[in-house]
């Protein structure tokens, strides 16, 4: 079952991932209810350790059963547009904000170290609002 948030004014905040070492296999967060929000910001703190970075997969759902991964696209000279699953990559220790417009009811994030997770740390806080 999805984790429902308590609202304070128009902005809701929750911890998606406590600071912890990564593995090289994707670990998926809980599902979070974001109904009523149209903006999602992820506050991501990453420590590189012995890895060359980490990857994040952001997925959305309307029913908590069928999940749809963010995509990226390329446009070719013929007018063809190719969509591919998006993997957000962070290559060095940093604190970053990832802003995503949303219209889905639920989201989750999967994360993995690119190489050895030894000495890595990743934490993610999400804020959402209807702007």
Range of the domain at 119: 12-129
pLDDT digits (tens, 9 = 90+) for 33-84: 999 899 999 999 999 999 999 999 999 999 999 999 999 889 887 888 999 9
Q: Is residue 5 part of a domain?
A: no
d(CA 90, CA 122): 11
d(CA 22, CA 60): 22
Q: What is the mean pLDDT of residues 94-103?
A: 94
Q: Is residue 6 part of a domain?
A: no
* pTM of the predicted model as reported, rounded to 2 decimal places: 0.85
Q: What is the mean pLDDT of residues 108-126?
A: 94
- Provide the CATH number for the domain around residue 51: 2.60.120.380
**Tokens 């190719």 belong to residue:** 82
Domain count, the chain: 1
Contact 48, 118 (CB under 8 A): no
Q: Is residue 47 part of a domain?
A: yes
Q: Is residue 2 part of a domain?
A: no
């Amino acid at each position: 079952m999805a984790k429902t948030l308590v609202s304070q004014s128009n902005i809701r905040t929750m911890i998606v991932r406590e600071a912890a070492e990564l593995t090289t296999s994707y670990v998926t967060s809980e599902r979070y209810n974001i109904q009523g929000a149209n903006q999602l910001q992820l506050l991501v703190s990453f420590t590189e350790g012995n890895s060359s970075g980490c990857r994040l997969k952001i997925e959305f759902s309307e029913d908590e059963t069928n999940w749809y991964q963010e995509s990226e696209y390329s446009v070719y000279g013929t007018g063809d547009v190719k969509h591919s699953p998006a993997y957000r990559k962070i290559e060095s220790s940093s604190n970053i904000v990832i802003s995503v417009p949303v219209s889905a009811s639920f989201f989750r994030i999967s994360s993995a170290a690119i190489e050895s997770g030894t000495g890595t740390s990743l934490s993610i806080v999400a804020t959402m609002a209807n702007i």
